[in-house]
Amino acid sequence: MTAESTSITAILIGAVVALSGLVYALVRGLKIQSRLDRISRSPATIAASKLPVEAERISALVQRLQQAGHRWDLLLESVTATRDAGTRLQSGIESVEACIIGLLDTFVPSERGSAS
């Protein structure tokens, strides 16, 4: 064998190896692509892709609950203020009652308590 035929043989072997590597890489790429397609169609992947939408929906519901909680707090404050005002009014009425009873005792002692 001459150097020329040896180099041509080496070039052919290199080309065959390069083409074999290219074919192997192509086959691996196709297998990986088919596996990725199968994974992307799986129920778990579909459910995982819907998670951000569900998270936004849950976040909106949490905000609505916080707003409702704030309204309940305002309502509770209003009811408490109304109760306090009622207590003060009752105290004022009791003071007026005591004054009226005192005035009745002073000016008309015989009329108080009689059922004539």
Domain ranges in the chain are: 1-41, 54-108
Burial group, residue 108, by CB count within 10 angstroms (0-12, 13-18, 19+): exposed
User: Alpha-carbon distance 31 to 27, whole Å?
Assistant: 6
Band (91; pLDDT cuts 50, 70, 90): very high
Listed in sequence order, the residues at least 6 apart from 39 whose beta carbon sits closer than 8 Å to its beta carbon are: 45
Average pLDDT over residues 102-115: 70
Average pLDDT over residues 81-89: 95
Entry field: residues in the chain: 116
Looking at residue 18, its amino acid is A
Annotate 72-97 with b (16+ C-beta within 10 A) or e (fewer).
eeeeeeeeeeeeeeeeeeeeeeeeee
User: Alpha-carbon distance 78 to 82, whole Å?
Assistant: 6
pLDDT in tens, 1-57: 688 888 889 899 999 999 999 999 999 999 999 998 888 888 888 888 888 888 899
